[in-house]
Amino acid sequence: MRERKKQYFHPIEVTLDVVCGKWKGVILCLLQEKDYRFGELKDQLYSVTPKVLTQQLRELEEDGLIKRTVYAQVPPKVVYSLTPYGKDLEGTLRMMEKWGQAHQEKVGVNFNEEVSEAELS
């Protein structure tokens, strides 16, 4: 578990504290559907650097939301999956997703739906 030094005044702070990292929300959403290898996650979040991705994953792991499985082989293979505990967040994540979608449509937030051809090569 991640060492939490701070004192909370409201339960929602706990959830936000666990979910509010630059990439944590998306990572958790992705993992709801299937397990991912490190490199696969990196591709999905394509602008993330390995260092930061590792950070985010470690914190999620320390908070008990995801599990890291290492396959002893060369080249290495590491798979990230949700713990049962992490799966409990699914309903919440879906609602946040839905609200975000509504907000997006309302406000006209820009999404990157496609990566440019140059970046795909």
Partner DNA sequence: CAGGATCCACTTGGATACTG
Partner DNA sequence: CAGTATCCAAGTGGATCCTG
Phi and psi, residue 70, nearest 5°: -105, 125
Contacts of 48 (CB under 8 A, 6+ apart): 22, 23, 42
Q: Is 26 in the site for a copy of itself (CB under 8 A)?
A: yes
How many residues of this chain bind DNA (CB under 7 A)?
A: 23
Shortest distance (Å) from residue 8 CB to DNA: 12
Partner from a copy of itself, DNA, none binding residue 76, C-beta < 5-8 Å depending on class = DNA
Partner from a copy of itself, DNA, none binding residue 82, C-beta < 5-8 Å depending on class = none
Residues between 28 and 67 with contacts to a copy of itself, criterion CB under 8 A: 29, 45, 64
Nearest to 92 by CA among 40, 43, 32: 32
Q: Which of 48, 65, 66, 89 binds DNA (CB under 7 A)?
A: 48
CA distances (Å), 21 to each of 39, 57, 78, 89, 117, in order?
19, 10, 21, 15, 29
Binding pattern for the stretch 7-36 against DNA, x by CB under 7 A and - elsewhere? --------------xxx-------------
Shortest distance (Å) from residue 18 CB to a copy of itself: 7
CA distances (Å), 50 to each of 39, 42, 57, 100, in order?
9, 7, 10, 27
Please say whether the beta carbons of 24 and 60 come within 8 A: yes
Q: Which of 36, 41, 92, 121 binds a copy of itself (CB under 8 A)?
A: 92
